[in-house]
Chains A and B, each alone.
Chain A
Amino acid sequence: MSRETADGAASEQAVPERPAVEVDGLGVVLGSGTARTEALRGVSFTIPYSRSVGLVGESGSGKSTLAKVLAGLVPIDTGRVVIGGERFSAGTSRRRRDPGLLQLIPQDPFSSLSPRRTAGQALAEAMDPLRADARRHRSAIEEWFERVELPASAAAKYPHEFSGGQRQRIAIARALCTRPRIVVADEITSALDLSVQVEVLELLAQLRAELGLTMLFISHDLAVVRHVSDEVAVLRSGELREFGAVEQIFTAPRDEYTSRLLDSVPGAPGFRIRD
């Protein structure tokens, strides 16, 4: 992965030379006083365009904070983040961002959709934030529902009429219909049954190939991360412990913590619960 920056390089395809996401010495402090915690400390990694990076960590590792920083929901304290060439750091004012830059697919399919708005209205809001008129965008909405393998009739239904997996499909459609180049998926399968997880991951892989998406896939589940990532970042207590190609991480981890994480998965060769 080239970290060279060739500003204004007149490439015919207009494929930017810079990586899609550069995280450089990122530090985030949450809370103040006694509740003050360093959620992230000196985290650096890059995601090239059209690649998928998996971010693994246990609770309290700061992985969700990282997702929120990228989405602009949590301010940066030290270091910087460059997304699609746009630079964000501690001084950056929280100006409006182009929704096409980066979208976040939230974790909980139950809280990510307003119970009083239909699935169609949820998508319409993404397409037209001001008016959010589902009728005006009907054909586009139906097209997206088809993409995520939901029937067109889903548009008129309310969230409680869907299963968890179906809701997550709606959340995916809503995030992708703004045509973002970069998608951050925060634990999007953790609330789903295994068989539904498989379906959602299959769908995501398919859409990623179709749309050439760059993705940061956050999960506590090593198996899921292995399945969807080209590179893997291992986060613990706000620090990046290891970053490398997926096969290297899973077959020859360099960090002691990564090995321990791998051995803790039931069924893994190093997993022992009986003496």
Chain B
Amino acid sequence: MSAIPPIQPEEVPAAAARRSRRPGPMLAIGLALMGSLVLVAVLAPVLLDADAVGLTDDRRQGASGEHLLGTDEFGRDLFARALVATRLTLVLTVSATAISVVLGVAVGLLVWMLSPRVRNLVLTANAVAVAFPALVMALVIAAILGPGAMSATLAVGIAGIPAFVRLSATMAAPIMVRDYVSTAKLLNVPRPVILVRHVLPNLGEALLVLSANSFAVTLTELSGLSFIGLGVQNPDYDFGRLLADGLPNTYTQPIQIVGPSVMLVLTGVAAMFIGDGLAARSNPRLRRLVRGRRSGMLHRADELSQEMAAAHREQGGAAGAAALRVRGLKVATAQGRELVRGVSFDVAPGEILGLVGESGSGKSLTAMSAAGLVPDGVDATAAEVTTVGHDLLGPVRSGDLARDVALIYQDPVSTFNPALRLENQLTEVARVHQGMNRRAARRALAAEFRRLHISEPDSRGRQHPHELSGGMLQRAMIASALLTDAKLIIADEPTTALDVTVQAEVLRQFVAASGSLGAAVLFISHDLGVVEALCDRVLVMKEGEVVEELTREQLARGEVKHPYTRSLLAAAQYMEPSAEEANE
């Protein structure tokens, strides 16, 4: 065992993966706005109460320096009233939202203590309650309890419960089947403790976002109830009540409704901004889109490396001979972390080139860049990427590339659209880019299926992806590559998700594809055994660099020089005593 030098676990890209502590601009604006509103709610009733409720003789005045928004029919300052109303509005809205969230989440989690049958019954009943309009329900409750601030708050709060029951029960469902919950059950952790310890914290972020948005809805509903006279009653007043007071005078003194309207909008916008800001923060992908970073592009390297590339070119001979030619490929994250550090290689027509490395070695990024596919959030530069004669650093007609390059991914199930028949997906390139008609494409596909010894070749195409096994889907992908006469097949761990007995069959198809048709294959794998059996030549990658290039014979004989390759080989041999026996 001591023969195997320990390989350091790859560094977890903490900075990239974790959300930044700095709030985004949207969240910052929302928080600042809400902060000032809270400040107003605290201070205004203390400082402006006299102006807001004191009856004066300055009745129905327009805006002036003394009364910014004028006065009402009792001579009360409308600006002061709008500010003072903030406290009651916020208190009522927060209370109603709290009722919805706390009770809704409690019920939504507690249903997971019930037997499946009872749980379904409760959730179905709840679904009916969700379908019932919340405002109508609030009206009914307010009518029963009698008009008043308390009953309006209860009504809106209770009306909001079913939505949160459904949300939290639904969001808890995938967590309940997670391994850490099963493990906790095995450890005899009581159900309620599991819910509080494991489920609730993992809902936290989503619930926060939803609560902020629910706050905005609750605000309009409560104001609506006050507006129609079922909510806050005189002499108390919130935004809705102020709007109702101002409405009769809309034509004579329209300025009366300006104060409460503006305050309502500001409060709603603050809540929405906080909600959206939190959502963006909890979803790093969304945040990146918001930031609008340039990414996912393959660029030509700067001049210096172009000179190097020119040197490379002279060394390497004519570019036309290779199916794929990559020079000086570099891939880095937007934060500047280098994932691929200057990789150069060729794949000749008919050759199967293996790209081996452990996770994080950059092998997939290298291969995908060769097809012009660079994932979001990283930048790829190269001195040269010539794929089947197309210079990927310049403008390329995507149709040509789609015809000449075929991609086969690791997970066959997610590669296909489950809603479409196989033939529609597999013949798409042939039909769209090569102008083949539907019937001819179908017949050609069946011929390829037959060539690959796929059973029932004539009816396969009519099937949907879920009707085929994973191995069959991968073979269908290879058939599709053959159909368009692809010159280069890029396969990213195509057999990793397959059973060993199926893997052998799929590997045979790769050999057939490259041998009889002259297609070049770039085959990515972590499995040295597979690569040794399949590939003519192997590149070993580590931390974004090619550390060694080997022929199949060298790999089979164990003639490797680089310590990293040696450690990989040692690990494989450690696992595989049969390999040594076979060599003897």
- Is residue B501 within 8 Å, beta carbon to beta carbon, of the partner chain? yes
* Residues A261 and B501 in contact, CB atoms below 8 Å apart: yes
Q: Is the CB of A266 within 8 A of B533?
A: yes
* B202 and A114 form a contact (CB under 8 A): yes
B527 partner residues in chain A, CB cutoff 8 A: 194, 266
With A and B bound together, what is the CA distance between A59 and B568 in angstroms?
Answer: 27
Flag the segment in A10-18, A22-30, A75-83, A197-205 that touches B.
A197-205
**Residue pair A268, B582 in contact (C-beta under 8 Å):** yes
Whether A198 pairs with B180 at a CB distance below 8 angstroms is no
Tell me, yes or no, whether A3 is within 8 Å of chain B by CB.
no
Contact of B500 among A104, A165, A202, A261 (CB under 8 A): A261
In the complex, A250 Cα to B4 Cα: how many Å?
A: 25
**Counting CB contacts under 8 A, is B179 at the interface?**
yes
Q: Shortest distance in angstroms between B442's beta carbon and chain A's nearest beta carbon?
A: 29
Determine the distance from Cα of A166 to Cα of B534 in the docked complex, in whole angstroms: 32
A261–B578 CA distance with the chains assembled, in angstroms = 13
Q: B261 interface residue, CB < 8 Å from A?
A: no
Rounded to whole Å, the gap between the CB of B284 and the closest CB of chain A is 12
Q: Does A99 reach chain B (CB closer than 8 Å)?
A: yes
* Contact size range, B: 35 or more
Q: B575 at interface (Cβ–Cβ under 8 A)?
A: yes
Bound CA–CA A196/B533 (angstroms): 23
Query: CB-CB < 8 A to B188: which residues of A?
Result: 96-97, 99, 129
User: Residues of A contacting B530 with CB < 8 Å?
Assistant: 266
B358 contacts chain A at the CB level, 8 A cutoff: yes
A31 at the interface (CB under 8 A from B): no
Give Cα distance in the complex from A264 to B14, angstroms: 39
Asked if B504 contacts A269 (CB within 8 A), the reply is no
Asked if B189 CB lies within 8 Å of chain A CBs, one says yes
Q: Identify the interface centre among B9, B186, B193: most chain A CB within 10 Å of its CB.
A: B186
- Is the contact region of chain B dominated by helix, strand, or loop, or is it mixed? helix
Answer whether A195 and B186 are a contact pair too, CB < 8 Å, given A162-B12, A269-B582.
Answer: no
Q: Which of A223-275 contact B (CB under 8 A)?
A: 223-224, 226-227, 250, 260-269, 271, 273-274
Asked if B578 and A268 make an inter-chain contact with CB atoms under 8 angstroms apart, the answer reads yes
Contacts of B500 in A (CB 8 A): 58, 220, 222, 261, 264-265
Pick the residue among A99, A174, A221, A273 that contacts B504 (CB under 8 A).
Answer: A273
Question: Within 8 Å of chain B (Cβ to Cβ): is A116?
Answer: yes
Could you tell me the distance in whole angstroms from the C-beta of A186 to the nearest C-beta in chain B?
9
Report if B190 contacts A (CB, 8 A): yes
Q: B1 at the A/B interface (Cβ < 8 Å)?
A: yes
Structural contact, B186 and A163, CB atoms closer than 8 A? no
Whether B501 and A58, one on each chain, are in contact in the complex, defined by CB atoms closer than 8 angstroms, is yes
Question: Are B571 and A197 in touch, CB under 8 angstroms?
Answer: yes
Out of B358, B511, B533, B571, name the residue touching A267 (CB < 8 Å): B533
A58 to B504, CA, bound (A): 14
Task: Tell whether, in the assembled complex, residue B180 and residue A111 are in contact, meaning their CB atoms are under 8 Å apart.
Answer: yes
Task: Give the residue of A112, A162, A194 whose beta carbon is less than 8 angstroms from that of B179.
Answer: A112
- How distant is the Cα of A166 from the Cα of B9 in the complex, in angstroms? 8
B residues 526-584 touching A (CB-CB < 8 Å): 526-530, 532-534, 567-568, 571-572, 574-579, 581-582
- Do B571 and A195 touch (CB < 8 A)? yes
A114 in complex: contacting residue of B4, B180, B187, CB < 8 Å:
B180
Residue of A nearest to B579 (CB): A267
Distance in Å from the Cβ of A126 to the closest Cβ of chain B?
A: 5
Q: Let me know if A50 is at the binding interface, CB within 8 A.
A: no
**Known interface pairs A163-B9, A163-B10. Does A59 touch B499 (Cβ–Cβ under 8 Å)?**
yes
- CB neighbours (8 Å) of B185 from chain A are 73
**Least CB distance, A197 to chain B, in whole angstroms:** 7
The answer to whether B182 touches A106, judged by C-beta atoms less than 8 angstroms apart, is yes
CA A104 to CA B17, docked complex, whole Å: 30
Q: Which residues of B sit under 8 angstroms from A59, Cβ to Cβ?
A: 470, 499
The answer to whether B187 touches A129 (Cβ under 8 A) is yes
> Does the CB pair B201–A73 fall under 8 Å?
no
Pairwise interchain contact B568-A195, C-beta atoms closer than 8 A: yes
Contacts of A108 in B (CB 8 A): 179
CB of A79, distance to nearest CB on chain B (Å): 22
Answer yes or no: B184 CB below 8 A from chain A CBs.
yes
- B186 and A99 form a contact (CB under 8 A): yes
A248 to chain B, nearest CB (A): 14
Cβ contact within 8 Å between A194 and B180: no
A161 within 8 A of B: yes
Task: Indicate if the CB atoms of B526 and A193 lie closer than 8 Å.
Answer: yes
CB distance from B491 to the nearest CB of A (A): 14
**Contact mask A165-199 → B, CB, 8 Å, 1/0?**
11000000011001000000000000001111111
Known A-B contacts A129-B188, A193-B526; the reply to A174 vs B1 at CB < 8 A is no
Q: Complex: how many Å from CA A104 to CA B183?
A: 7
B533 in contact with A194 (CB, 8 Å): no
Q: Which residue of B lies closest to A96 (CB)?
A: B188
For A125, the chain B residues whose CB sits under 8 A away are 184, 187, 189, 197
Interface positions, chain B 170-219, Cβ under 8 Å from A, are: 178-180, 182-190, 193, 197-198, 201-202, 204
Q: Are B179 and A106 in contact (CB under 8 A)?
A: yes
Contacts of B581 in A (CB 8 A): 269
Question: B56 interface residue, CB < 8 Å from A?
Answer: no
Does chain B have a CB within 8 A of A113?
A: yes
Cβ-defined contact, B571 with A198, below 8 A: yes
Asked, given contacts A194-B571, A222-B500, A264-B503, whether A115 binds B202 with beta carbons under 8 Å apart, the answer is yes
B6: nearest residue on chain A (CB-CB)? A199
- Residue from B12, B502, B575 within 8 A of A160 (CB atoms): B12
Q: Is B359 among interface residues, defined by CB-CB distance under 8 A?
A: yes
- Closest approach, in angstroms, between the C-beta of A122 and any C-beta of chain B? 8
Q: Which chain B residues (108-163) contact chain A, with CB distance < 8 Å?
A: none
Q: Across the interface, do A223 and B12 meet the contact criterion of CB distance under 8 Å?
A: no
21 A-B pairs (CB sep. < 8 Å): A58-B499, A59-B470, A73-B185, A99-B188, A112-B179, A116-B202, A130-B190, A132-B189, A160-B17, A165-B9, A194-B528, A197-B575, A198-B4, A222-B500, A250-B578, A264-B504, A265-B500, A265-B529, A266-B503, A266-B529, A269-B581
13 more contacts with CB within 8 A, not counting A58-B501, A265-B500, are A96-B188, A99-B186, A111-B179, A112-B180, A132-B197, A194-B528, A196-B9, A223-B578, A227-B575, A268-B582, A269-B578, A269-B581, A273-B533
8 closest Cβ contacts across the A-B interface?
A163-B9, A266-B529, A58-B499, A106-B179, A112-B179, A116-B201, A193-B358, A223-B575
